[in-house]
Structure 1
């Protein structure tokens, strides 16, 4: 009478395909990430630790030049640029205009961009750099 051998199930898990999936996810997130392009300005200092989402970046130099994604634009174009980005985001309630104003920028220029954001009923924040620790 021949004895039947019992085959034990293999309890090992192959991770070879898992590394491929992780690599593909990494590539996907790197390609779809929203990279913020900020012109290298000297920003005002603040001790605030708040990090806010960025939907659109508007830069203002101390010479009153306005930038959108490091591209020089006219002040008259700002409302249309912000409105187009807001509509493109499906009028997301968390849409935020980040104002990057160089140190020495006339505050009236910052206020004008904030007025445009207020007119469109979107949030606006002022970008700052951390104060050096003493």
Structure 2
């Protein structure tokens, strides 16, 4: 009587296709991350730890670099119309609207108060974004 030997099951997993997928994802994220435009600037410091929902952002740049509403560059003359239109869009979608003012350090206080007055005249809240004190 012949003794049969059992064939052992192959326990190795082929991961070559997995490494190809990971490599392609790595390339994709590297390329898309270079397309994002981030302009760093310094915010005023504050001891407040309160966080508010961000629906509409108004960035004010120091000097004559102008304004940005939700990352769209605009001029000072367009500011009120663009904020009003954005608030109407948010209210039409039944969203709670808050205008978050992101003022670079060194911006004239008049520019900040102008945005606060515009938000107040349109019947919405305005808050100033700050950097926490360390």
Length-normalised TM-score, structure 2:
0.65
Using the TM superposition, give the Cα deviation of residue 118 of structure 1 relative to its aligned residue in structure 2, in angstroms. 0.7
Contact 2:91–2:97 (CA under 8 A) maintained in structure 1: no
Q: Provide structure 2 residue ranges, at least 5 long, that are not aligned to the other structure.
A: 1-36
Question: If you compute each CA radius of gyration, which structure gives the higher value, 1 or 2?
Answer: 2
- Supply the distance in 1 between the matched residues of 2:111 and 2:38 (Cα, whole angstroms): 17
Against the structure 1 CA distance between its residues 97 and 38, is the aligned structure 2 distance closer, same or farther, given a 3 Å change threshold?
Answer: farther
Against the structure 1 CA distance between its residues 51 and 115, is the aligned structure 2 distance closer, same or farther, given a 3 Å change threshold?
Answer: same
Give the structure 2 partner of residue 29 of structure 1.
none
- Supply the distance in 1 between the matched residues of 2:90 and 2:79 (Cα, whole angstroms): 17
Q: Give a deviation string over 1:29-74, Cα, whole Å, max 9, x none.
A: xxxxxxxx97422100111011001111010011141112333211
Of 111, 126, 131, which aligns to 1:109? 111
Give the structure 1 partner of residue 31 of structure 2.
none
- Supply the distance in 2 between the matched residues of 1:71 and 1:88 (Cα, whole angstroms): 16
Instruction: Please state if 1:61 is matched with 2:61.
Output: yes
Q: How many residues align?
A: 96
- Supply the distance in 2 between the matched residues of 1:119 and 1:46 (Cα, whole angstroms): 26
Contact 1:79–1:116 (CA under 8 A) maintained in structure 2: yes
Contact 2:87–2:97 (CA under 8 A) maintained in structure 1: yes
Q: Give a deviation string over 1:64-106, Cα, whole Å, max 9, x none.
A: 4111233321111111111111111125573101000000100
Q: CA RMSD in A?
A: 1.9
SS in 2 for 1:89: helix
Contact 1:38–1:57 (CA under 8 A) maintained in structure 2: no
Q: Provide structure 1 residue ranges, at least 5 long, that are not aligned to the other structure.
A: 1-36
- Supply the distance in 1 between the matched residues of 2:84 and 2:39 (Cα, whole angstroms): 22
